[in-house]
Each structure stands twice: as C-alpha cells, then as structure tokens.
Structure 1
C-alpha cells in the first residue's frame, strides 16, 4: 500500500470522526435546548393593577408605547401576531396574537400574568417565553406597563394564533450549550421597577428610553452579535462613544431623528435589522433624550 493511499484513508477516518463528534454535539445541544425551553422559571411577581377603559391618558400612553417600543414589529399593528423572521433556512419566528380576539394567547390573563410575561419573559405556565425581549421592558415603570396592558385589553379584537419559534439545529445547540440565552435567563428578577422620570430632553429620561435598545445592543449598549439572529445579520452597532462607535455619524439629535424616520444613514445607505417600524413612531422628546444619553455614556469597546 502506497503512502498516499494510507494518508487518504487516515484523512477519511479523521473526517468521519469529526463528523460523528459534530453530530453528537448537535444532538446533545438539541436535548439541552429542549430541557431549557421546558424549564420552570420561578418569579416572585408583583402585580400591576388594571386600568379602566375610561382612562384615556393610559390608553393613549399604551398606544404610543406599543407603536414605538418594538411591540408592533413582532405582533403587528393589530396585535394579532405576525411572522417577522423567516430566513428560508429553517429559522421562522412569529409573534402571537395578544389582542382580545380569537386565538389570543392572553385571554383570561390576570395582572400577575401580564407582569410575568412583559417584565420577566415568563409564560403563564412558568416556562421562558422564547424570543420575547423582556430585558427591554423589565425596567419599565408600573405606570407604563399598566398603560400598555390597558391598550391591549381594550384594543379592537383581531383573529390570530400562538407564537411560532422554529430554530435550525445549530441555533438550538448554541442555545442548549448556553452560548445564547433567553430573556428570562438574562433578567435580574429581583430588580424593582423604575420610578417615573419627567418626559423631557434629559440624560435621565434618555436612559429610560434606552432600555428598548438592550436586547440587540447589549446591557452596556456596546453592540456585538445579535443573540439568536441569523448568521447573515450584521452585528449590532456600538452606541457608546468608544472605538468603532456608530454615534460618530449622528453628531446631533436631528441626525438621529432622520435615521429613525427614514431607516438610512446620513450617507444614504440603508440600515439593516433595526426596528424602524417602531422607531419612526418615537416622538422628538424621546429621541432627543436618547441621543443625549448615548452621548453621555463612557466609551466602551465593542462586545
């Protein structure tokens, strides 16, 4: 037997071993993912009282929050659910119907159920709500949470269905091995709600608005790979004034307002992945306060 044939056989054996190891790792990761998705998350929930249909201020605030804080991007304008990710490669995610209509997943929700889902990313049964970005809403004030719930409870009913979370095997394995986390695993469930802050162009109000950015840009807003996103998605930008910051493109709040309204950078290029359906609904005060806060952050390296 020639040396070349021996090396070819050895290479074939090595490839077979690597394939077997990879297959085993995927199988183990998938099993771990299934267990994690089915785990029970114990949360000491503090209920927030329901608002009445006559509370017009709460309903209007809830409408604004729903339109501007990412809810519409996943659940649709009618709140009856929508498919917001389908990459054609086995990843398909749809938000559920959270209107009062047929097929609603929130039918019969009590105040505790609403808080558990929105603030903690945990379902009525105690399991983690996959893909629900509760880390963005965990720090909401009780008034804002109650206003959003009021808007949804008294919204016009629409037909829909439950959530769809179909993840390809490699993504499930990453989740199973802990390289990706659901919101319920990221949140400090003992953290008290934020106290109300006057809505004005201040750093403090900007910090409150910036909570909606955490899910993609990270707790320190320094960017990095978006958890659970398809491989082709670009990394989230560094929003701090650090190295590689995207904020150099937006020296003033007017530039950021233009970005949110158009979905385009100052040079005319389109930004991918950002939830512009919601961002374009943000009012001037929120955007200007957000810009002020981001400019005040300490420089942070891209994560």
Structure 2
C-alpha cells in the first residue's frame, strides 16, 4: 500500500506543478494588466537652456538602464537579453522617437510614479527613487528629453511571457507608486549636507547601500558596502576623486556594481554635498 500511495503521489506531481505554475501565471498577468488611477498632471514644461542642461545631468544617471552603451543618448536597452525567457522587456528609447506621442504630464507620471501612459505599472522602473525628484528637476528631465535628437529605432513594446508572468507574481518587479500630491522642493544647490541628502535620495544610493547607508541588504539590488564610515576614512577631496575616477584613495577600484560613471555630470560641489551629508550623519 505504501508503494502504491507513493507511486500515486509521484504520478500527481507534474499535475500539481502545472496547476501551481498556471495559477502563478494567471496572478502575474492580472497584475501586469492592472491599471492605476494616478491622475496625469495637466502640465506643459517650459524649456530653457538652463533646464535642458540640468536635465541632461540627471538623465545621465538613467543611462545604465536606458542605453545599450551606458551613456547618452537614452536609446533603450534589452532587459531580457541573457536572462530567463521572460518575454520582450526593454528599457525604452527615451528620445522623441518613442516619446513624441507622450504628454509632458504622462512623462512626469511615468518617471515619478512608475505608471505607463496606458495606466499599467512599469516594470523594474525605480520610481520609488525618482518620486524624490523636485518639481524643478523633474521638469528639467522632461525638457532635456524633449530637446534630445530622435534616434531610431524605437524599442519594441513590452510583451511578457508565461515565465515572466510567474516572476511578476512572485517578486516585486512592478514599481507603480502612489500619486505625488504635494509640491516637492529641493534645498538650494551647494556643498551642504541638506543638498547632499537630496542628491543621495535621487541617486539610488539607499537601494544598494542600505536604508542607513551602512551596507546593502536588498534582494534585488547589488549589495553595496557601508559608506556611512567614509568621512572617518577619506578626506572630502579623496571622496570627490573616487567619484570622478572610480578608484579609492588606496588605489583599489570601486566595486564593479558601483555606477560611478552615471554621475560624471555631477559637479564637484555635488560630491562635496554628498560628503557633507555623510559627515553630518556621524
């Protein structure tokens, strides 16, 4: 009898696995197709040379995902390449080739709240970071994207496979955020701890280095080292130099997951502000 029941159980395993996979896939597809009621801001960005320049500085930090070359222009890249068969998932081309039909309000909502113009959640979009962008900096990003040269081809639309849907059901890959309903104002630019706190909040530092910057623990981000101790070990100029060159004061390169090149358009005063914030936390 034991052998009989054991054999029956083993025979049922494929059916159980198929049923579980089907359920997870259906949950995943339901999440993918869910729409979010975040209102689209009724807003048109006024473009100025100053805004475009500022927007370029911030947009450069997006190149790690939105450019196959890791640099501007933001022509898109294939997120699914080399990974599991999740379907067709691109960080989209953000030149006017792709954004021509988007309103400024739809771009603002996508960046800050992670919601596509269709109302569905974007996937693997760090809107949880970019919701910290000030209203002025967000307008600067839009102004830059509008001003950039159109670069063909456009990236294909997202099309998630059954495997991708199962992953969406199991992991927090969708990144839609609640609506931002209050003005967001940054401190005045300058080498101050206040402005450094703002820069660190929009630069993704907490995702890799942890909520207290004492070392990363996130399952879906590179585990960065403790950077809260930097002011005890490096001078301000050594920190600036490390962020400029990707090399620590002792001559050892920063870790391969540290995207220091993404911040190449930050000014030395921006890095000094970050250092001042780390120093003020001690």
Specify the TM-score bucket, using the shorter chain as the normaliser.
0.7 to 0.9
Gaps of 5+ in 2: none
When residues 180 and 84 of structure 1 are mapped into structure 2, their CA distance, relative to the original with a 3 A threshold, is closer
1:143 aligned to 2:143?
A: no
Number of equivalences: 273
Distance 1:18 1:292 in 2: 58
Report which stretch shifted further, 27-36 or 127-136.
27-36
Matched, 1:44 2:77: no
Query: Is this contact kept in 1: 2:114–2:121, CA < 8 A?
Result: yes
Contact kept, 8 Å, 1:84 with 1:93, in 2: the verdict is yes
* In 1, Cα distance between equivalents of 2:236 and 2:190: 14
2:216–2:225: 8 Å Cα contact kept in structure 1?
Answer: yes
Output the CA distance in 1 between the equivalents of 2:26 and 2:14: 18
Deviation at residue 163 of structure 1 after TM alignment: 5.5
Match of 1:232 in 2: none
Matched, 1:278 2:266: no
Structure 1 window deviating more from structure 2 (189-198 vs 133-142): it is 189-198
Equivalence map 1:169-188=2 (5 Å): 172-177=165-170, 179-184=171-176, 187-188=177-178
Offset, 1:137: 1.1
Distance (whole Å) between structure 1 residues aligned to residue 16 and residue 78 of structure 2? 34
Secondary structure of 1:183's aligned partner: coil
> Deviations 1:84-139 (Å, cap 9, x if unpaired)?
563344367532111113xx1x2222222121111111011100111121112111
Match of 2:244 in 1: 261
Deviates more, 1:32-41 or 1:76-85: 76-85
Aligned to 1:196: 186
What corresponds to 2:223 in structure 1? 236
Per the TM alignment, residue 154 of structure 1 is displaced from its structure 2 partner at its CA by 1.4
Which of 69, 91, 95 is equivalent to 2:91?
95
1:222-253 deviation line (CA, Å, top 9, x unaligned): 522343x6xxxxx4225464xxx7x4896334
Structure 2 CA distance, aligned partners of 1:57 and 1:191? Answer: 26
RMSD: 3.5
